Every structure is written in C-alpha cells, then in structure tokens.
C-alpha cells in the first residue's frame, strides 16, 4: 500500500536546484523590467508563449490576448525592405535557428490597428528540443519621425536653393533681354514716327512692335518666376476677378469639357497685382482644360474664405516664408483629367519644363512665382487616372479697393527742358536719348551713377529731369537718386528697370518728385511717365 503523497522538499540552501530557481528569478526580473519589448516565439505553435510588460504595452493588448498571437497576425502585409511580411519573417527565423543573430527593421501592427516602426533582434533559445526564438523589439517610431522630418527639411532646403539659383538665372536673362527689347521697341517707335503714310512700312513696323511686346510678356513671366517681376499692389476681390475670367474661359474650355464654378464667398479681398492674379486663373484653368481627354471631363473652380493650418502649409510645394497659419483666401481648380505621374509632378514648377507638344513651359513656373511674390502658398495633388487639384492660398486683407486713377496722356504732348540720362548699356542710352529728343527734350547721357553726380555738381540747375537706370555697375540708380536728394532735392527723377527691386520701391515712398518706369518702354510709355512726373 502506497503511503501519502508529500509535497517535494524545498531545495536545500546552496543546492543546484535553489541556484536554478534564483537564476530563473533573476532572468524573469531582467526580462520584465527590460526597456525593450521581449517576446518568446514557439515555432512549433507559431505563436508567442511568453512576453514582458513592455511587449504588452507595445502591442496594445493584455498578456493573455497577446499570447494568442504570433508575428503573422501582428504585422502588415509588407515590410520596409519591400518583402511580404510572411516571407521576410521565415527568412529571419531560419537564419536565427541556423545560429545567426539577425537584427533588422520591422513594422509591427498593434491589436489597435496602429503600425509601429521597430528594430528587432532574434536569438534562438534551447528548450528541451522545442524551437524557441526570443525577440527583442525596440520602438523606433520617434527615430523614423525624426528621419522623415529631416528628409522633409532637406527637400525643402534643396527646393529653395533650386528656386533661388533658377530665379537668379531667370532674372539675369530677363534683365539682359529687356535691355535688348528696349532698343528694339524704341527704334520701332521712332521708325513708325518717321514712316509717314507708307502703309507697307507702317504694317511692317507694327508687326515688329507687336513681336517686341509679346517678347516683353515672356520676360515678364521669367521675372515673375524669379520673384523680381513688376508687381503693383491693389486690393482685389478674388471672387469677382475669377468670375470675370471664367466668363472668357468658358468659351475656350467649352470645346474640351465642362467648366463649373462655386464662388461661395464674395468680397474675398487680397492685396496684389490684378494682372498677375489673372495669370494664375488663366494658367490653372487652361492647364486643366488641356488635361481633359474628352468633352465629358469636368473642371471645377472655387473660391472661399479659409483658415490655413500648419499641417496644410507644410504640405505645400510653393510657399512664401512670411506666410503663417491663419485666415486666407482660397482658390481651387480641380479637373477630372488623366492626372500626373510622380516624375512629372515633381517638375511642373521648373521653368521651361512642359509636357505639351507646343509651349514654352513658363505657365506654372510663373504661377509659382506669382504665389510666392504675393506671400501665398500653393499645393498640387495628382494621381494618374484620378485628375489633378491645385489649391492656392493668399493672405486675406480687410482693406478697401481704391478708385482707379483717371487715364490721361494725349499723344500730342511734348516735353521741354534738359534731361540727364544714366544707363550703363550704350545701346539703351542711345535709343533713350533718341526717344527723348523726339519728345522735344535736350539730352545729356552718361553711363553711371557717379557720372550723374558729377554732372549735377558741375551744373546744379541745368537739368529738369533725371532718368536713371536702377541696375548699373558701381553706383546704381537708387543710390544716385539718394545722393541727388542732397544736391538737387527738387530735381524730378524717373527710375527705370526691367524688374521692380525692393530698393526702388522704397525710394518711391521717400520725399521728392520720383516715378518708376519699367523696361522695355516705348515712346508712349516714356511720354506718359514724363507727363505724370512733369505735368506742366
């Protein structure tokens, strides 16, 4: 007869059994309080058989629930290296069981459905013949977020440097080209005056002049892209401006698709150049029309008051550094066309890049420049087969529109007196002198700002007007005008330039008679500027 069953005797202190118990307790303590999530995977069952508190926290589950799962149910379909999760997991575990110690990045999916970027290290654990694998899992989400933010900032810096270098190139080309156009346009006007009534000569010169003006529009777009373009500031009702442009565009777009508008909020006031804001609408709607494959396609244009938040601002391809989250006016153009692949989307704001069989590729580059120069932001989203959406945000203003000035310069107006002309381009000096003489002025032409001061010092009362190029080697026109304030404060100054520099604009707000004329200018442009500066 068997005797009673007794509980096993407790291990004698210092015995191998007690040492094993203490070792297991220390191991459990280390595992439970480890900074990483630790799981034990039984390969024969395909699920976890042990885990620590950090693993419970990482996978957003209680211990009992977590131990019912394995890597297959706690991973998204694919991993950062592009492989399917099940194939990648089998590869890493095979290497681990073969004696390697794999360490790799892995995306785990919590029971709450959230993906977590992790770093995993595997170690094979002997256990009476069972294939056990211990996984140490470190949450590296913060590192991945930091890397993404660094990459985003690096992309933004690279884009800004690219814009700056392209802008300098575009501005330099436009400046030099405008000087050539000033010569062509000026001599065309002089020739027109001398052509008399010869219809053939008149027609020829009109065509030459028209081509010069078209070329000026092209350089204007280059200058706008570079951020140095002509820009007059007015209070503009964006909804009213869009409604006016859509009335014209509806006819052109009607052959390609359906144009719909939703101008929800009227009296959406922004401060800007009406002509340049019109270019935004014309280019965006025109491009949307070109994207439509058949007349059933649709273009939707809308305006509204909006509140721009930081996240949306960060997502913009074009943004002005001074723009901050807050109240804005929004313009959106959306089409149902074929959309753009990522490679095209990445380049659409580059000057001269175009996917059209014909065209110079300056439309969207100019739009980007206009948005930047108006202190706004622009975001474009597009997917092949899903259409494209352009959204423009411009700072809202509470100012009221001013009444338009009355036009008035008669073509018969003629000047009198002595004009001091300064330009470091000989051809521009010569044609400007010829134009001024055709208007009735006596002209003294010099090639620098220093020469202007020397001429005025020699004869302080000899000149009735000074015409100064803003951009000259040495002392430029702005600096010369500032020096003239001390020598001849009452001398009217006409500043001329191919682009409106901030220094020139600030000078126009200072005391003394001063005006600004943009290159290239013709006879009538010069006449009107001088008449406004010297009406008597």
Is residue 282 within a helix (H) or strand (E), and if so which, with residue range? helix 274-291
Whether residues 478 and 496 fall in one domain = yes
Asked if residue 240 has pLDDT above 80, the reply is yes
Shared domain for 218 and 266, answered yes or no, is no
Mean pLDDT value of segment 82-94? 92
- Cite the beta strand spans of 372-464 per DSSP E: 377-382, 388-395, 418-422, 442-446
Following CA atoms 210, 212, 214, 219 in sequence, which dihedral angle do they give, to the nearest 10 degrees? -170
Residue 406 lies in a domain: no
Question: Of 73, 100, 99, which is closest to residue 86 (Cα–Cα)?
Answer: 73
In angstroms, the CA 484 to CA 33 distance is 79
Same domain, 433 and 333: no
Do the domain assignments include residue 401?
no
- On whether residue 451 sits in a domain, the answer given is yes
193/527 Cα distance (integer angstroms): 14
Q: What is the mean pLDDT of the chain?
A: 82
**CA–CA separation, 417 and 419 (whole Å):** 7
Give domain status of residue 496, yes or no: yes
Q: Indicate whether 376 and 448 sit together in one domain.
A: no
CATH of the domain at 65: 3.30.450.20
Is position 9 within any domain?
Answer: no
Which of 226, 257, 277 corresponds to the end of one domain? Answer: 226
Tokens of 300: 């939707």
- pLDDT of 499 strictly over 70: no
Query: Does residue 64 lie in a domain region?
Result: yes
Q: Is the pTM for the entire model greater than 0.75? A: no
Distinct helix (H) and strand (E) counts, the chain: 16, 18
* CATH number for the domain harbouring residue 434: 3.40.50.2300
209, 240: one domain? no
Q: Are residues 432 and 514 in the same domain?
A: yes
Distance CA 292, CA 285 (A): 11
Q: How confident is the model at residue 397 (pLDDT cuts 50, 70, 90)?
A: confident
* Cα–Cα distance list, 472 to 170, 447, 495 (Å): 18, 8, 12
Tell whether 431 and 388 lie within a shared domain: no
* Closest of 243, 233, 208, 526 to residue 394, by C-alpha: 233
Same domain, 508 and 471: yes
Sheet holding 103-109, edge to edge: 47-51, 37-42, 132-139, 115-125, 103-109
Contact 419, 439 (CB under 8 A): no
Domain total of the chain: 4
Instruction: Give dist(CA 528, CA 535) in Å, integer.
Output: 10
pLDDT digits (tens, 9 = 90+) for 273-313: 888 888 899 889 988 888 887 888 899 999 999 999 998 99
Please indicate, yes or no, whether residues 80 and 166 belong to a single structural domain of this protein. no
- Please report which confidence band the pLDDT of residue 532 belongs to, taking 50, 70 and 90 as the band edges: confident
**Same structural domain for residues 384 and 253?**
yes
Please say whether the beta carbons of 486 and 460 come within 8 A. Answer: no
Q: Give the end of a domain, one of 202, 226, 250.
A: 226
Q: The domain containing residue 115 runs over which residues?
A: 20-139
Residues 446 and 466 in one domain: yes
**DSSP 3-state helix, strand, coil percentages of the chain (rounded to 5)?**
45, 20, 35
What distances in angstroms separate CA 452 from CA 174, 182, 228, 498, 530, one per listed residue? Answer: 26, 21, 26, 20, 19
361: left (phi over 0), alpha (psi -120 to 50) or beta: left
Quick one: 440 and 374 in the same domain?
A: no
The pLDDT tens digits of the residues spanning 420-452 come to 999 988 999 999 999 999 888 999 999 999 999
- What does the DSSP assignment read for 210-273? HHHHHHHHHHHHHHHHHT-S----EEEEHHHHHHHHHHHHHHHHTTTSEEEEEE-SS--EEEE-
* Cα distance between residue 146 and residue 201, in whole Å: 69
Asked if 112 and 124 touch (Cβ cutoff 8 Å), the reply is: no
Would you say residue 95 has pLDDT above 90? Answer: yes
């Amino acid at each position: 007869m068997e005797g009673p069953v007794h509980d096993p005797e407790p291990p004698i202190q210092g015995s191998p059994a007690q040492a094993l118990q203490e070792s297991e307790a220390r191991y459990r303590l280390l595992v439970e309080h480890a900074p990483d999530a630790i799981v034990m995977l039984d390969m024969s069952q395909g699920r976890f058989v042990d885990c620590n508190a950090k693993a419970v926290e990482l996978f957003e589950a209680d211990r009992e629930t977590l131990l019912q799962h394995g890597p297959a149910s706690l991973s998204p379909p694919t991993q950062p290296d592009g492989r399917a999760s099940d194939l990648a997991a089998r590869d890493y575990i095979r290497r681990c069981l073969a004696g390697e110690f794999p360490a790799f990045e892995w995306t785990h999916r919590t029971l709450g459905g959230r993906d977590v970027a992790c770093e995993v290290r595997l170690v094979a654990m002997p256990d009476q013949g069972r294939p056990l694998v211990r996984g140490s899992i470190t949450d590296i989400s913060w590192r991945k977020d930091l890397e993404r933010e660094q990459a985003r900032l690096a992309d933004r810096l690279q884009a800004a440097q690219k814009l700056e270098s392209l802008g300098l190139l575009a501005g330099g080309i436009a400046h030099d080209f405008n000087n050539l156009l000033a010569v062509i346009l000026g001599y065309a006007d002089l020739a027109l005056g001398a052509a008399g009534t010869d219809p053939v000569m008149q027609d020829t010169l009109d065509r030459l002049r028209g081509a010069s003006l078209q070329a000026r529009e092209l350089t204007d777009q280059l200058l706008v892209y570079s951020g140095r373009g002509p820009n007059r500031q007015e209070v503009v009702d964006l909804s009213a401006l869009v409604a006016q442009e859509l009335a014209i565009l509806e006819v052109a777009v009607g052959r390609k698709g359906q144009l719909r508008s939703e101008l929800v909020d009227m009296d959406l006031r922004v401060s800007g150049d009406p002509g340049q804001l019109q270019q935004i609408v014309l280019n965006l709607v025109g491009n949307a029309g070109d994207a439509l494959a058949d007349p059933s396609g649709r273009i939707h244009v809308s305006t509204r008051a909006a509140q721009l938040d930081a996240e949306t601002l960060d997502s913009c391809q074009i943004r002005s550094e001074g723009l901050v989250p807050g109240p804005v006016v929004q313009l959106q153009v959306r089409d149902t066309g074929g959309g753009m692949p990522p490679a095209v989307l990445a380049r659409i704001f580059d000057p001269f890049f175009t996917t059209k069989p014909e065209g110079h590729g300056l439309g969207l580059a100019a739009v980007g420049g206009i948005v930047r120069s108006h202190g706004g932001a622009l975001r474009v989203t597009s997917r092949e087969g899903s259409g494209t959406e352009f959204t423009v945000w411009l700072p809202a203003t509470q100012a009221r529109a001013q009444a338009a000035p009355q036009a008035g310069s008669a073509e018969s107006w003629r000047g009198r007196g002595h004009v001091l002309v300064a330009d470091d381009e000989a051809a521009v000096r010569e044609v400007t002198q010829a134009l001024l003489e055709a208007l009735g002025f006596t002209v003294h032409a010099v090639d620098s700002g220093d020469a202007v001061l020397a001429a005025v010092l020699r004869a302080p009362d000899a000149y009735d007007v000074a015409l100064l190029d803003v951009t000259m080697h040495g002392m430029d026109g702005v600096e010369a005008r500032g020096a003239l304030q001390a020598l001849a404060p009452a001398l009217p100054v006409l500043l001329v330039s191919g682009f409106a520099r901030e220094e020139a604009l600030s000078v126009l707000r200072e005391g003394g008679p001063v005006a600004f004329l943009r290159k290239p200018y013709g006879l009538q442009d010069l006449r009107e500027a001088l008449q406004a500066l010297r009406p008597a």
